[in-house]
């Protein structure tokens, strides 16, 4: 099925997508007078998760656009495999994307910091603070200005990266050999501790756990684990995490963006901000709620002294990434300066 989709996309042919209603996969023409502008936006998230991380904001946009524009929302791998989203958007096959830079293979050096860059954040508020007050926004804009026909608009935070597994993890030794669904950069880092990173379509994860193809997930926190059904097929939740928040972004095809009148561009940005805000309180609520009241997953913890081994390895990993280029080095310096500031500020920014 994926192969068929790819062939259609390469030819910019016409097909239908049952779950979203009949539509064309050819690049849309500039809207005719009196007709609404039509966009296709694909998110990284499957339908149960997208119902929280993006659908409310898109529904708001479509209502507020008052007939001038309509965004059709598609879920993980529905039109294009996630790893091909960037190129499809660049070609204009789709108009916009919500994902992290890492998962969509964005051809920029900073893509390694998208998703879960190990220990880059401790809390969800760290991500917007880093982008809006420590200079990451300017660096991301600089990087994507070098890429043809794609515009990066905004980054926000999602949930932390915890292990949700079939068998318990109570020590670093328990990580060895575990086949784990995770993000590209997170997988490269975790492989140093014996984890076997696995990449599969989002919709296949639950079945892969049930059949034993996967031992668990390092793709989300408790909120997503319960919301999308993964808590129904796993047994344990490791309270240690390798990142306090996933960093995801909104991207658009630049030609489509430039065709929009200024008031619709502004409306779209406002709805992105609404999505960022919704996730801040939804995840913050959910992580505590499901840990204490979920009832399906037993909590386990790797002792702090042992977990410090992973934190030390992350620091070395940062050095390796910084050596890959001047822009990456700037990002790593910002992350280190931020960490030191938070440590110096003390509670509630950092404890201990």
| CATH class of the domain at 162-244+294-345 | alpha beta
What is the pLDDT at residue 29? 39
2-115+126-158+247-286 shares its CATH topology with 162-244+294-345: yes
- If pLDDT is split at 50, 70 and 90, which confidence band does 35 have? confident
What is the pLDDT at residue 98? 98
pLDDT tens sequence across 126-146: 999 999 999 999 999 999 999
Has residue 10 got a pLDDT over 60? Answer: no
Cβ-based neighbour number of residue 253 at 10 Å: 24
- If pLDDT is split at 50, 70 and 90, which confidence band does 351 have? confident
pLDDT tens sequence across 246-267: 999 999 999 999 999 999 999 9
- If pLDDT is split at 50, 70 and 90, which confidence band does 33 have? low
CB 248 within 8 A of CB 99: yes
Has residue 3 got a pLDDT over 70? Answer: no
Better pLDDT: 34 or 193: 193
Section 108-120 average pLDDT: 97
- If pLDDT is split at 50, 70 and 90, which confidence band does 34 have? confident
Among residues of the chain, what percentage have pLDDT more than 90?
89
Instruction: State how far the Cα of 46 lies from the Cα of 228, in Å rounded to an integer.
Output: 8
Instruction: State how far the Cα of 218 lies from the Cα of 212, in Å rounded to an integer.
Output: 16
Q: Which CATH number is 2-115+126-158+247-286's, of 3.40.720.10, 3.40.190.170, 3.30.565.10, 3.30.70.260?
A: 3.40.190.170
pLDDT tens sequence across 178-218: 999 999 999 999 999 999 999 999 999 999 999 999 999 99
Whole-model pTM: value is 0.89
What's the angle, vertex CA 323, arms to CA 320 and CA 329, rounded to 5? 105
CB 331 within 8 A of CB 270: no
Mean pLDDT of the chain: 92
- Domain residue ranges in the chain: 2-115+126-158+247-286, 162-244+294-345
Has residue 330 got a pLDDT over 90? Answer: yes
What is the pLDDT at residue 314? 97
């Amino acid at each position: 099925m994926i192969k068929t989709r790819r062939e259609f996309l390469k030819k910019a042919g016409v097909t239908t997508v049952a779950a979203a209603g009949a539509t064309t996969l050819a690049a849309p023409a500039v809207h005719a007078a009196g007709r609404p502008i039509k966009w296709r936006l694909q998110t990284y998230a499957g339908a149960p998760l997208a119902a929280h991380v993006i659908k409310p904001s898109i529904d708001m946009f479509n209502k507020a656009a008052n007939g001038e524009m309509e965004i059709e929302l598609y879920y993980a791998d529905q039109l294009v495999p996630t790893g091909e989203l960037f190129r499809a958007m660049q070609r204009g096959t789709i108009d916009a994307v919500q994902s992290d830079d890492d998962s969509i293979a964005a051809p920029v050096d900073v893509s390694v910091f998208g998703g879960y860059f190990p220990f880059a954040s401790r809390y969800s508020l760290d991500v917007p603070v880093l982008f809006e007050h420590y200079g990451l926004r300017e660096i991301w804009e600089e990087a994507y200005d070098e890429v043809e026909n794609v515009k990066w608009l905004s980054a926000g935070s999602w949930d932390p990266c915890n292990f949700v597994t079939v068998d318990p993890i109570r020590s670093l030794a328990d990580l060895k050999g575990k086949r784990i669904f995770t993000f590209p950069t997170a997988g490269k880092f975790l492989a140093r501790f014996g984890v076997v990173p696995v990449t599969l379509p989002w919709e296949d994860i639950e079945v892969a756990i049930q059949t034993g193809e996967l031992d668990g997930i390092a793709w989300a926190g408790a909120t997503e684990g319960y919301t999308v059904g993964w808590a129904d097929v796993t047994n344990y939740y490791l309270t240690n995490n390798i990142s306090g928040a996933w960093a995801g972004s909104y991207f658009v095809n630049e030609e489509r963006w430039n065709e929009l009148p200024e008031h619709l561009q502004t409306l779209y940005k406002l709805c992105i901000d609404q999505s960022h805000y919704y996730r801040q309180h939804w995840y913050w609520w959910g992580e505590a709620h499901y840990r204490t009241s979920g009832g399906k997953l037993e909590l386990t913890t790797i002792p702090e002294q042992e977990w410090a081994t992973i934190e030390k390895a992350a620091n070395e990993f940062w050095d390796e990434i910084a050596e890959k280029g001047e822009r990456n080095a700037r990002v790593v310096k910002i992350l280190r300066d931020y960490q030191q500031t938070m440590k110096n500020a003390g509670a509630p920014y950092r404890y201990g």
